[in-house]
Amino acid sequence: MLPEALIKIAYLLAAVLFILGLKGLTHPRTAVRGNLLGALGMLIAVVVTLLDRQIVDYTVLLAGLVAGGAIGAILARRIEMTAMPQLVALFNGFGGIGSVLVAGAAFTAAIDALMGAAASSGSAAASTATLDVQVTIATGASGLIGAVTFWGSLVAFGKLQGVISEKPVHFGGQQVVNALLLAGALFLGVWLVLHPTQVGSYWILAAVASVLGLLLVLPIGGADMPVVVALLNSYSGLAAAATGFVLSNNVLIVSGSLVGASGLILTNIMCKAMNRSLTNVLFGRFAPSAEAASADDVYAGKVTSTSADELAMILDGARRVVIVPGYGMAVAQAQHAVRDLANALERRGASVEYAIHPVAGRMPGHMNVLLAEADVPYEKLIEMDAINPTMEQVDVAIVIGANDVVNPDAKNDPQSPIAGMPIIDVDQARTVVVIKRSLSPGFAGIPNPLFAADNTMMYFGDGKRAVLDLLAAIKEL
Amino acid sequence: MEAFVTALSVFVLAVFVGFEIITKVPPTLHTPLMSGSNAISGITLIGALLAAGSRQTQWTTVLGFLAVLFATVNVVGGFMVTHRMLGMFKRKER
């Protein structure tokens, strides 16, 4: 059995490894090592904990570790890269529920010990036995944040997996109900602090927070999922940090706050990329204004449709091609076909790059992972701000499965619901090719004047099929 | 109270460290960042181990076991899937 100080030093080492691990993620070259350092930190933390003298029974532990490890490993190996957002949402949720359970168990144990001590001393203090206030507060925070994270993540998982509708679910008085639930949870938190011996109120608190978590995420639509997943990521960290306060354990506090900060930064980046506040994403909804042009006005008689053969000829003369992927590419599993198309164009002497909008896909960096899976080197993935100034020199911009993030109304129409949202300026390219099933609107529910622009050609079809046909046409040239 | 202030100091300083490091992560790595940091937030596992192994009451053991299970899925799955993803990020010349 290790002395207390040694355990604490080992925890410190783990915390340092987590920081170094995250630092490794600042560059693709050092990222693999960074992740391994993080895993090593976790291993050290777990091993020294197993040697803690509080632990007297290993059977339950090993059962949990083996079963959990096996489930985690299978999920991690089997998951498709396109399904990464829902997996991360699920893992977030598991971290959240873990914190709820740990805080609950630690709190129950502390109260039991307190009651036991008070009863054996036979003092009148038994009825007024109290815990340190901060422990109770932290327990309440753990239960609240953890439960919101768990249920919110499950809803996000359901939406991303298609188990429940991706569409926003709205009902009257939603905000009021949420506010009441939050107030109820906070009241229970205060109750818990005043009457900590009534452990049951912790579980009621967690139950109320669970309903809150469900209702918070249900109204949020598919395209806003990057924000939700990032925010839940942050919550899972904060829940772990709160549990750290319950247990007075620094490694939990440090790791939890690192993750909390990370999630908040990503949330912020996602919100900026949509020019919306976090409150607007969480509680607002897209309401196309009454005066907004109807799809017929925008598209009537102005849409040029094209074929694979015609496109192949246009691409044959192109020197610089930029591909703009969106969630539709992920849905169509078209990333490998797109890579093949890019390779074919490069063999014919064109330069091909990919322009990545920060909110393309269903989580931050989703497109980058898909293209990395298809062996596209990461240097070719160019951020929106870097590629926009050069868009005028692009011969052909190919938009595949993206819509709102290339809608020029965001710049040109101050009345548009997406006004002010940064977009990839494909309309500046000499020719724009949009690969899309139909003229149906994107998440914002508004028509896209890009599709009717003089320099735009619509290439209708399923993303993957369309790209493969185009590839075949190019090879026949 | 003193213990709380110490813990709070650690929390606040770590948040700053987090902000400093994470803002330097390029957008290309945002998905692995999420899954990797997510695995780190599974650190609640060590709290779960203490709860499950200390054999206080049957109830705390049950809670602890479930917590170990969930947190381990989070930790093992998170680190492994991050590793798998990062292996795909390659340079032009290999």
Structural element, H or E, at residue A397? strand A396-400
pLDDT of residue A302: 85
- Whether pLDDT at A87 is above 60: yes
**What is the per-residue DSSP string for A183-250?**
HHHHHHHHHHHH-TT-THHHHHHHHHHHHHHHHHHTT--GGGHHHHHHHHHHHHHHHHHHHHHHHT-H
pLDDT of residue A289: 53
In whole angstroms, give the CA distance from residue A271 to residue A339. 29
- Whether pLDDT at A129 is above 60: no
- Chain A residue whose CA is closest to B92: A377
pLDDT of residue A301: 82
pLDDT of residue A454: 92
pLDDT of residue A150: 96
Q: Is the dihedral of CA B76, B82, B88, B89 positive or negative?
A: negative
Query: Shortest CA distance to A234 belongs to which of B29, B16, B37?
Result: B37
- Whether pLDDT at A164 is above 90: no
Residues of chain A with CATH 3.40.50.1220: 295-476
Q: Could you say which residues from 115 to 174 on chain A have a Cβ atom under 8 Å away from some Cβ of chain B?
A: 132, 134
Mutual angle of helices A250-274 and A4-24, in 10-degree steps: 20
Determine the average pLDDT of the residues in A96-105.
Answer: 95
- Whether pLDDT at A291 is above 50: yes
Nearest-CA distance A246 → chain B (Å): 10
In whole angstroms, give the CA distance from residue A263 to residue A245. 20
pLDDT-above-90 percentage for chain B: 74
- Whether pLDDT at A195 is above 90: no
pLDDT-above-70 percentage for chain B: 97
pTM score of the predicted model: 0.90
Does the beta-carbon distance from A260 to B18 stay under 8 Å?
A: yes
pLDDT of residue A89: 95
User: Residue-wise over A252-281: b if at least 16 C-beta within 10 A, else e?
Assistant: bbbbbbbbbbbbbbbbbbbbebbebeeeeb
Does the beta-carbon distance from A98 to B63 stay under 8 Å?
A: no
Radius of gyration of chain B (CA): 18
Helix (H, G, I), strand (E, B) or coil at A348: coil
Tokens of A2: 């290790």
Strand A351-356 vs strand A456-460: parallel, antiparallel, or unpaired? Answer: unpaired
- Better-scored residue on pLDDT, A8 or A113: A8
Could you report the per-residue pLDDT of B26-66, keeping only the tens digit for each?
A: 999 999 999 999 999 999 999 999 888 887 788 889 999 99
**What is the per-residue DSSP string for A404-459?**
GGG-THHHH-TTSTTTT-----GGGSSEEEEEESSS---TT----GGGGSTTEEEE
Question: Would you say A103 and B67 are in contact if contact means Cβ atoms under 8 Å apart?
Answer: no
Which residues 6+ apart lie within 8 Å of A319 measured at CB? A349, A350, A351, A395
Confidence of residue B94 (pLDDT cuts 50, 70, 90): very low
Does residue A404 have an active-site annotation?
yes
Q: Give residue limits of the domains in chain B.
A: 28-86
Nearest-CA distance A94 → chain B (Å): 5
Could you report the per-residue pLDDT of A238-250, keeping only the tens digit for each?
A: 999 999 999 989 9
Tokens of A62: 């090993």
Tokens of B70: 């969930």
Q: Of residues A404, A425, A427, A469, which has the active-site annotation?
A: A404
**CATH number given to A295-476:** 3.40.50.1220
Does the beta-carbon distance from B88 to A22 stay under 8 Å?
A: no
pLDDT of residue A52: 85
Helix (H, G, I), strand (E, B) or coil at B86: helix
Q: Which residue among A46, A248, A265 places its CB closest to the CB of B3?
A: A248
